[in-house]
Amino acid sequence: KQEVTQIPAALSVPEGENLVLNCSFTDSAIYNLQWFRQDPGKGLTSLLLIQSSQREQTSGRLNASLDKSSGRSTLYIAASQPGDSATYLCAVLKTSYDKVIFGPGTSLSVIP
């Protein structure tokens, strides 16, 4: 049974700092891994998707890496801004027709 964990549960950093969010999954046989952002009480916004054959994806100040063999993914946020404050969730898909399993999320607060 796939289980997804995220560390840390919460993080508070000063504006401008670079930071790393961690995601771990127990079953390395995945189809893809997706990182999402969620603002309080809102839906999920897709940030980055990494397919199983890829090692990383980049979008602006965000970079996500994937190491299937160790069951880990990291989301790197460069030069953090107060607008980055939100909960970040990672989710894994086992096969193309399977359900998506989410981690509990990391709550990020960027202090001006």
Partner 1 sequence: DAGVTQSPTHLIKTRGQQVTLRCSPKSGHDTVSWYQQALGQGPQFIFQYYEEEERQRGNFPDRFSGHQFPNYSSELNVNALLLGDSALYLCASRTAGAGGLNEQFFGPGTRLTVL
Interface positions with partner 1 (CB under 8 A): 4, 31-32, 34, 36, 41-46, 49, 51, 89, 91, 93, 96-105
Q: What are phi and psi of 82, to 5 degrees?
A: -55, -30
* Minimum CB–partner distance for residue 16 and partner 1 (Å): 28
Measured from the CB atom, the residue of 16 and 68 that comes closer to partner 1 is 68
Measured from the CB atom, the residue of 14 and 43 that comes closer to partner 1 is 43
Measured from the CB atom, the residue of 83 and 97 that comes closer to partner 1 is 97
* Minimum CB–partner distance for residue 90 and partner 1 (Å): 9
Measured from the CB atom, the residue of 1 and 69 that comes closer to partner 1 is 1
Listing DSSP states for 20-75 in one string gives: EEEEEES----SEEEEEEE-TTS-EEEEEEEETT-SEEEETTEEEEEETTTTEEEE
* Minimum CB–partner distance for residue 79 and partner 1 (Å): 26
| Cβ pair 34, 48 in contact under 8 A | yes
Max distance between CA atoms of the chain, in angstroms, equals 43
List the structure tokens of 58.
């980049």
